[in-house]
Amino acid sequence: MSSADLVALWLTLKLAGISTLILLLIATPLAWWLSYTQSKVKVAIEALVALPLVLPPTVLGFYLLLSFSPQGFLGATLAALGLPSLSFSFAGLVLGSVVYSLPFVVQPLHHAFVEMGQRPIEVARTLGASGWDLFVSITLPLARRGYITAAVLGFAHTLGEFGVVLMIGGNIPGKTQVLSIAIYDHVAALEYGQAHWLSGGLLLLSFALLVFVYAINRRFDLVKT
């Protein structure tokens, strides 16, 4: 593997890791709200969250790119605050990944919260728990399957991202060149050997992560019965 490939690999893992962390932070309140709200806008929010599942990544990337431009909503706001532009930057990639992988994190958490129900929370509140203590001592352990599934799926899905990254990140080695784009470059340059290394690696890693998710779910099923 060339050093450029190693840089791309590292960048990809960093992107997936940071995006997953941010996703878990955002998705927890969002999934919680979706699980218990009676609000009429719930369906619309659910559909919005699920959009990245069906849209071509290039469409997402295109709109993100427009919003990053100095005339765009995000770009103008950032410029007004004196912050650097998100276009062709790592931070822009993180934002794109978060949007792109949102449903993969929200949905497992949503299912976990619905399955858990309100009852354990109610019991814990009558026993004197509240706030952060309640979340750490009850919600997190009871929804752990959902959290593990959400984290792994969010991570694995971000690993394979291509369209969004290409649209908003360009292809700057060491800055925005991720694994999937490096593979594309190798194939375009007819360097099939290197493309094999990277593709095979990604294939095995994704497979291993999914086996892990299914094994975890199965193990908890066995424990439960």
Partner 1 sequence: MTLQVAVRIALGEFLLDVRFESGLSGVTAIYGPSGCGKTTLLRAIAGLQVVPEGTISVGSECWLSRDVNMPVHQRRVGYVFQQPSLFDHLDVAGNLQYGKKRCGSTEGKIQFDEVVSVLDLENLLGRRVQALSGGEQQRVAIGRALLANPRLLLMDEPLASLDAVRKAEILPYLDRLSKDFATPILYVSHSLDEVIRLADQLILMESGRVKASGNLLRILEENQLDPLFGQPFSLVEGRVTRLCTEHQLTEITAAGLKILMPSMDVEDRQLVRLRLYAKDISLTREEPKASSILNIFPARVVSIDDAQHPAQKIVGLRSGDSFLLSQVSRLSCEKLQLKVGEQVFAQIKAASLVH
CB closer to partner 1 out of 82 and 224: 224
Q: Residue with structure tokens 């931070």?
A: 91
- The verdict on 127 binding partner 1 (CB under 8 A) reads yes
- Give yes or no for residue 218 binding partner 1 (CB under 8 A): no
Tokens 């790592």 found at = 90
In angstroms, give the least distance from the CB of 209 to partner 1: 24
Token pair belonging to 17: 């890791």
**x-or-dash pattern for partner 1, window 132-171, by CB under 8 A?**
-x---xx--xx-x---------------------------
Contact status: 115 vs partner 1 (CB under 8 A): no
Q: Is 128 in the site for partner 1 (CB under 8 A)?
A: yes
Query: How near is the Cβ of 138 to partner 1 at its closest, in Å?
Result: 7
- Output 172 or 221, the one with its CB closest to partner 1: 221
CB nearer to partner 1: give 30 or 121: 121
Rounded Cα distance, 116 and 126, in Å: 17
Q: Give the angle 99-48-115 at the CA atoms, nearest 5°.
A: 95
* Candidate residues 123, 136, 189, 204; the one interacting with partner 1 per rule CB under 8 A: 123
What the block records as the tokens of 140 is 């997190």
CA angle 86, 189, 64 (to 5 degrees): 20
Find, among 174, 194, 176, the residue nearest to 186 by Cα: 194
Shortest Cβ 132–partner 1 spacing (Å): 12
Task: Kindly tell me which of 17 and 117 has the beta carbon lying closer to partner 1.
Answer: 117
What is the tally of helices (H) and strands (E) in the chain? 12, 0
Residue 220 C-beta: closest distance to partner 1, Å? 10
Q: Which 3 state secondary structure label does DSSP give 216?
A: helix
Question: Min. distance of Cβ 212 from partner 1 in angstroms?
Answer: 20
Q: How far is the CB of 143 from partner 1 (least distance, A)?
A: 10
Q: How many residues does the chain have?
A: 225
- Closer of 95 and 116 to partner 1 (Cβ): 116
Q: How far is the CB of 150 from partner 1 (least distance, A)?
A: 18
H-type helices in 56-178, by residue range? 57-68, 73-80, 90-116, 119-126, 131-134, 140-142, 144-159, 163-169
Taking alpha carbons only, the member of 76, 96, 94 closest to residue 85 is 76
Question: Could you list the residues that contact partner 1 (CB under 8 A)?
Answer: 119-120, 122-130, 133, 137-138, 141-142, 144, 223-225
